[in-house]
A and B are shown apart, each in its own frame.
Chain A
Amino acid sequence: MMNAIMGNALIKLIPALLLDLHGNLLYVNQGAAGWLQVPEGEFHPAGNISSLHFNDVIGKNTGVYWPMLCHLYTMGRSACVDMYCHTRQWVQWQLSAAGEYFLLTGTDITGRRPLADDQSLLRSLPCGLQQFTPDGIHCCANEVQQEIWEAIDPAMSRPGYNMFEEPVFQETGLCEMFEEVLCTKASARKEILLGYREHETKGVVRILPSYYDVTVFAVTDEQGNISTLQLVMKDITERQLAFRRLEKSARLLDLIIEHLPIGYIQFDHFGFVRRINHTQREFFQYEYEEGEAPFNIMSDPFARLYGLDRLFKDVMVGNKVIRVEKQLDFSKDSRWTAQSREVWLDLTLFPLKDPVDKQQIVAVLVNDITDRKLEQQMRNLLQRNTEQLHLFFDAVDMGYATMEKDGTLSFANRKAEEMAGRRIFAGENIFEIMPELGYATPFKTRFSAALTGTASASFSSYFPRRYKWYEFLITPLRDGTVSVFIRDITDSRNMQKDLFRANKQLNKLNKSLVNQNQQLEDFAHITSHNLRAPIANLKALMQMHNDSSLPQEKEQYLSLLQEVIFKIDETLNDLVDVVQIRKNVDMDREPLVFSERLQYVKDVLFADIEKSGIQLTTHFDVPMLEFPRLYLDSILQNLITNAIRYRTQERRPCLHFMSWQENGYTILTAEDNGLGIDMERFGHKLFGFRKTFHKNKDAKGIGLFITKTQVEAMGGSIRAESTPGQGTKFIITFKTE
């Protein structure tokens, strides 16, 4: 009874379990239920499906299963198992027999349980641990710590080493940490660069820094006095280096962005400008003022005007890169930029995930392509102009080519290609395409000459192989090239030639017509004066004859009639002679020697010459003349006869003949010392038909008329110079063929 009461009392105090021989739980008291997390009370393993076994609640957690524990018990060993339970208490379960059951009693052994074996703990600690006296003198260190010091300075883990006296540590800040801990008694933690290590990779020795995570704490006794100072060190060089590298690359990236030669603008998730790099700041010429609300691309009127807000949204929502060229007139914005002009921008917008906020942001690369765009526009314009010009030149009915001074072509229009007889490509040489323009040709000579000048040179040239006349206009241009216009003037040349020929013929015809007309007029005059007069006499005499009744008168009239008829006959004969001469324009010419013909005429006129005593002299520089013999004889005879007829009694008559060459004509002169003639009064009639100027009975006014007619019929001319009382000089110009 007492035993049972005691048992109950103990049961209530001591956590305990009752188990059957198989290890099934039969009863769990309150204390044990708390530790084992099972319901308190009785269990019935036979009928209860929710029966629990030792292995489920303890074996599983400790690794010591029921057969093992029973075995220990039957072997007379201490059958107990330590279990760490969820209450963070260590519990020792002690097995004992209780009749036909087993009893497990639990004891809290947390306080009694040693942490671990000090030596093995220190040995397996993954970081260095070192113990110092409060004065800083080294006590002991685990292996890891000794290895650390070995790499830096082995002295630090030697007995008696005073850490406070080490200057290196004062620099690194380790001493400060110890002093801080001594002062505050709280632990201190810091990442410290303790020194440098040599590191050899592939034969190259590199000096690497050694970073350590250092923790210092104080161990105090019951009175609160510091008994030891503990140093815990962990090598964090790898982590630190990785971090440094990251930091370095981040900073580099930052620098790169800042000094990127193109503009960089970063917008946050809401469209506010968060960053603008140097290039872009320069471009905007914008100075941020403190407190100013940053630019927002979604709400700024200028941005909205040019649809930049939509662009931003597209990038943000579509999560894609957009590249556009935008023409923006910054003069419409005065707030954000001083760039008050129109610019072309090449914009690249790309979405980014902010590494910190994890929000979507947008970065924009800005490239000012205004110059390029303008240049492109200019080039387009120029190109268009050039094309138009080329079209224009193709339409022109003239060959046109531009070339270098060495003849390398840069352009040739369609007409020029037609002239060349094939397509012409830029870069070909004109002198190779058309060898007939090349070396030692008139074109080459003129072309080279034109290059030395600055003015255009124009000339035409005949190409016998083509039967073509081309006219060239060569203009050296200011850029050193040469522009050449080529015109086919064959037709106009031929026309010109034909025209010239026709004109010449026409002139000849005209001249002959004028001549004929003059002759007709002369003839009309002659008939009017020289024929009408005797005929009028005839008429009058006939009338008088008819009217008369006296035979004596009639006879007188008839004798007068006879006289008149004789005269008419004479006149008509003269006229027939003249007409004959004029008709025979193409009389056969023969080579005549002046002196020979003169001798012949002198023989004919022998009597007259002797009677007058005239002295004939000659000076023939040109001895010969191609002329009809009959005419020359007649001319010489008339000149001599004239000189004799109109000689003066005051002096011995002389006649001097001369001949010479002048301007391709043969000149013959006959100069006498006779009466002379008043040229002012009679000059115009001198060579007229039946014109006489002397009261000489022999004067018939026919000789010089015939002479003139003969000279003119052969294309020559005659004129006279005279001084009354001194003499006359006749000058005949013969046309030579």
Chain B
Amino acid sequence: MQLHNMIFIVDDDPIHQQIANIMIKRQGIGENVRAFSDAQDVLDYLRQYSFEPEQLPDLILLDLNMPVMDGWDFLNDYAGFYKDLAKQIGIFVLTSSIDDKDRKKVDNYSFVKGYLTKPLSSEIITKLQAS
């Protein structure tokens, strides 16, 4: 079992943030869980610590449907600089959308490791752990 040092939750829904936080901690796959409501903040953070691997998260759970900057904006921006990051970050899209179009669109981003649909469950957390 691999322990993820740091996990970011990017979602504007505060309840989801809490649920995710609790479940991740309960499953024990990561200790350091941080929630972001604004995807822009995450990008800023990543750029800031791009050369400090210990500051970078191991895993990002990204929601698609968010105000101001949505998941797609984030992915497009991230695609431009992820290769320069000092650490390989596992990005999972975690959304309530079960639209197939969204799933296929996500496939275009090679660095996204999986497309997960809410609700977050112990099975999904286990999957994250496996990655």
Q: Which residues of A contact B (CB under 8 A)?
A: 524-525, 528-529, 532-534, 536-541, 543-544, 547, 560, 563-564, 567, 681, 691-695, 699, 701
Minimum CB–CB distance for A550 against chain B, Å = 11
Asked if A544 meets B19 with Cβ closer than 8 Å, knowing A532-B97, A533-B118, A537-B119, the reply is yes
Complex A-B, nearest 7 residue pairs according to Cβ-Cβ distance, in ascending order: A536-B118, A540-B119, A533-B96, A692-B67, A536-B119, A532-B96, A539-B119
Digitize B9-27: 1 where CB-to-A-CB distance is under 8 Å, 0 elsewhere.
Answer: 0000101101100110010
Instruction: Name the A residues within 8 Å of B65 (CB-CB).
Output: 529, 533
We find that the number of chain B residues with CB closer than 8 angstroms to chain A is 23
Cα distance, A567 to B96, chains bound together (Å): 15
Minimum CB–CB distance for B118 against chain A, Å = 3
Instruction: Name the B residues within 8 Å of A536 (CB-CB).
Output: 16, 96, 117-120
Among residues of B, the one whose C-beta sits closest to the C-beta of A560 is: B15
Check if A528 sits within 8 Å of B97, measured CB to CB.
yes
Instruction: Name the B residues within 8 Å of A695 (CB-CB).
Output: 38, 67-68
18 contacts between A and B (CB under 8 A): A525-B99, A528-B97, A532-B97, A533-B13, A533-B16, A534-B15, A537-B15, A537-B16, A537-B19, A537-B119, A540-B19, A540-B118, A540-B121, A541-B19, A543-B122, A560-B15, A691-B67, A692-B67
Instruction: Name the A residues within 8 Å of B118 (CB-CB).
Output: 532-533, 536-537, 540
Chain B residues 51 to 79 lying within 8 A of chain A, measured CB to CB, are 65, 67-68, 73
Q: Which residues of B contact A (CB under 8 A)?
A: 13, 15-16, 18-19, 22-23, 26, 38, 65, 67-68, 73, 96-99, 117-122
Q: Counting chain B CB atoms within 10 Å of each CB, which of A539, A544, A694, A699 scores highest?
A: A544
Instruction: Name the B residues within 8 Å of A560 (CB-CB).
Output: 15, 18-19
Check if A563 sits within 8 Å of B99, measured CB to CB.
no
Main secondary structure, interface of A, reads helix
Asked if A693 meets B23 with Cβ closer than 8 Å, knowing A533-B118, A560-B15, the reply is no
Cα distance, A537 to B46, chains bound together (Å): 28
Check if A540 sits within 8 Å of B120, measured CB to CB.
yes
Excluding A525-B99, A529-B65, 16 further A-B contacts by CB distance (< 8 Å) are A524-B99, A529-B97, A533-B16, A533-B65, A533-B118, A534-B13, A537-B118, A540-B118, A540-B121, A541-B19, A544-B19, A560-B15, A560-B19, A563-B15, A691-B67, A695-B38
Cα distance, A525 to B23, chains bound together (Å): 27
Cα distance, A596 to B67, chains bound together (Å): 36
Instruction: Name the A residues within 8 Å of B38 (CB-CB).
Output: 695
Check if B67 sits within 8 Å of A701, measured CB to CB.
yes
Instruction: Name the A residues within 8 Å of B68 (CB-CB).
Output: 692-695
Check if A543 sits within 8 Å of B119, measured CB to CB.
yes
Cα distance, A251 to B19, chains bound together (Å): 149
Cα distance, A536 to B122, chains bound together (Å): 14
Check if B19 sits within 8 Å of A699, measured CB to CB.
no
Minimum CB–CB distance for B103 against chain A, Å = 12
Instruction: Name the A residues within 8 Å of B99 (CB-CB).
Output: 524-525, 528
Instruction: Name the B residues within 8 Å of A533 (CB-CB).
Output: 13, 16, 65, 96, 118
Check if B13 sits within 8 Å of A699, measured CB to CB.
no
Cα distance, A539 to B23, chains bound together (Å): 13
Minimum CB–CB distance for B19 against chain A, Å = 5
Q: Counting chain B CB atoms within 10 Å of each CB, which of A532, A534, A560, A564 scores highest?
A: A532
Among residues of B, the one whose C-beta sits closest to the C-beta of A543 is: B121
Cα distance, A541 to B21, chains bound together (Å): 12
The 8 Å CB contact of B23, one of A528, A540, A563, A692, is A540
Check if A528 sits within 8 Å of B98, measured CB to CB.
yes
Cα distance, A563 to B18, chains bound together (Å): 12
Minimum CB–CB distance for B106 against chain A, Å = 15
Among residues of B, the one whose C-beta sits closest to the C-beta of A524 is: B99
Cα distance, A434 to B68, chains bound together (Å): 77
Instruction: Name the B residues within 8 Å of A541 (CB-CB).
Output: 15, 19
Cα distance, A691 to B98, chains bound together (Å): 18
Minimum CB–CB distance for A544 against chain B, Å = 7
Cα distance, A681 to B18, chains bound together (Å): 30
